[in-house]
């Protein structure tokens, strides 16, 4: 079938828009790939000292995960695009964020985009996962730990809600890829060297 393939490629291209880089460039801020964790993501943009740029990055990186999933679920069925296609476009947007074709395949860690995908699948699931992230972030002040816990929480929560198999599989894959992209964070967390949110010192 042609449509699911085209939709998946389009979602990958959309996911490849690294908004941390785009937003900071448009706002005349320095490139997040040059400071802090060097990660092109909202958390690291926050380390530049611009909460506005960080929030805009978070929203746009989430939007690019939400949009393809929401479009397929809203308008896809008459064209034969079912849950499997929604799962595939969500995963493709996420993969685009991690390995963006427009940025030499050097992308981010996927937390915001995964949250967008979850919101596209189910508003309640996205909300519950965002709350899980917030609770861990507020208690620990580690953005990475919050992302790791939330990514593991989502598929479990979704299955408990009686969710569909293709989406659950996509969520499991996102959680594994997200954890792998956070491997340096995991090492720093274990060593007690991870930078905390709102902390004065950025990681090296």
Site for ligand G3P, rule CB under 6 A: 36-37, 39, 41, 43-44, 109, 111, 143-144, 147, 185
DSSP-derived 3-state class of residue 59: helix
CB of 75 to ligand G3P, least distance (A): 30
Taking CB positions, which residue lies at the least distance from ligand G3P?
111
Least spacing, CB of residue 48 vs ligand G3P, in Å? 11
Quick one: 108 or 163, whose CB is closer to ligand G3P? 108
- Cα(124)–Cα(200) distance, rounded to whole angstroms? 35
SS3 state at 50 = coil
Please state the closest distance from residue 95 (CB atom) to ligand G3P, in A: 15
Residues 6+ apart with CB under 8 A from 158: 118, 121, 122, 125, 167, 168, 171
In the bound state with ligand G3P, the residue whose beta carbon lies nearer, of 81 and 174, is 174
The length of the chain in residues reads 204
For the CB of residue 4, give the shortest distance to ligand G3P in the complex, in Å.
28
3 state DSSP class of 163: coil
């Amino acid at each position: 079938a042609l449509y699911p393939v085209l939709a998946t490629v389009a979602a990958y291209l959309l996911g490849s828009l690294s908004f941390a880089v785009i937003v900071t460039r448009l706002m005349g801020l320095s490139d997040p790939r040059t400071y802090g964790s060097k990660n092109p993501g909202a958390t690291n943009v926050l380390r530049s000292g611009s909460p506005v740029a960080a929030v805009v990055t978070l929203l746009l990186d989430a939007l690019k995960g939400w949009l393809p999933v929401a479009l397929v679920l809203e308008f896809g069925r008459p064209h034969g695009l079912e849950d499997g296609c929604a799962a595939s476009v969500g995963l493709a947007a996420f993969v685009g964020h991690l390995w963006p074709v427009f940025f030499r395949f050097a992308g981010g860690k996927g937390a915001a985009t995964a949250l967008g995908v979850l919101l596209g699948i189910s508003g309640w699931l996205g909300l519950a996962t965002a709350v899980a992230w917030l609770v861990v972030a507020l208690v620990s002040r580690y953005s990475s730990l919050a992302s790791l816990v939330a990514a593991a929480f989502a598929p479990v929560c979704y299955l408990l809600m009686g969710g569909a198999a293709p989406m659950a599989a996509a969520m499991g894959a996102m959680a594994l890829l997200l954890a792998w992209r956070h491997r340096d964070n995991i090492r720093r967390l274990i060593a007690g060297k991870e930078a905390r949110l709102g902390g004065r010192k950025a990681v090296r």
